[in-house]
Amino acid sequence: MDSLGQEELTRIWLALRHLRKVLGDDVSKLRFWGKIFGLNSSYYIIEAEFQSETDPSPNIPGPWDDWRFSKSGPKWPDPQSFFYMIKNRRERDTPDSLMTDLPKVVYEPPIRYPPESRGTGLNKWDYYVSSSLGEGDWVRLPSVRPEQIVAARNLVCLFTGDLNRNLKDFAFPGLEVHYLRAQIARISSGTHISPSGVFEIDEELLEEGVSTLYQKLIMYGFCATLKVIS
């Protein structure tokens, strides 16, 4: 794995100073999150912790905030396909009931849960990305959606450096910018640690006598939540 050189670290430090000046007082903390390598260019990512009840800074563009899936056009059947030949009676001695008696599967689209609001959960921080560390090349990544997290867990796809690359061939609900944001959320959740003693058991709750079954259910829900996030 390549490491960051002295020149690259200096440019990152200058980029942090520039972003701190551009974002203003709405941001309380900035840190260099990391670098993700791509085939054509790499991504430098900066994580921003912002003040509560504030809107994203208009000084850094977020072109994908209102991005929506485009409706695909009609799919024309292949003239050489078997079912197309049957429908047009090109197959000899084929009864018409073959097309009418086919089993029908009722498609039920998956439930699309709303994304977490800005400042909570996986959208607790804002992320800014650049491929060149230039002052005018930074953009803000969009909020991540639950279905993008689920799809990113089952997808192996190399980054190219093109944030507008369409990943429909990989059955991913979004562009490369959404895939990047989903992987950032997964990595951040998987590498988050807490110092020993931060989380303590409420002694009053134990004195009241919580059943063992209830404790197991709490632990099961906590583990399931971690599994979904990761």
Q: What is the pLDDT of residues 99-132, one digit of tens each?
A: 566 677 777 777 778 888 888 888 999 999 999 8
Output 223 or 66, whichever has higher pLDDT. 66
In-domain check, residue 43: yes
Show the CA angle centred on residue 152, arms to residues 160 and 118, nearest 5°.
100
In-domain check, residue 198: no
In-domain check, residue 11: yes
**Contact by Cβ (8 Å): 60, 23:** yes
Give the model confidence (pLDDT) of 168-201 as tens digits: 888 888 899 999 999 999 999 888 777 777 777 6
- Locus of tokens 């944001």: 181
Task: Name the domain count of the chain.
Answer: 1
In-domain check, residue 47: yes
In-domain check, residue 74: no
Is residue 225 over pLDDT 50? no
Full-model pTM: 0.69
In-domain check, residue 1: no
Domain range holding 39?
6-66+118-190
In-domain check, residue 60: yes
In-domain check, residue 175: yes
Is residue 80 over pLDDT 80? no
Closest to 59 (Cα-Cα) out of 35, 32, 27:
27
Give the model confidence (pLDDT) of 12-46 as tens digits: 999 999 999 998 888 888 999 999 999 999 999 99
Min mean pLDDT across 1-10, 58-67, 88-97, 100-109 is at 88-97
Distance CA 2, CA 174 (A): 29
Note the pLDDT of residue 149. 92
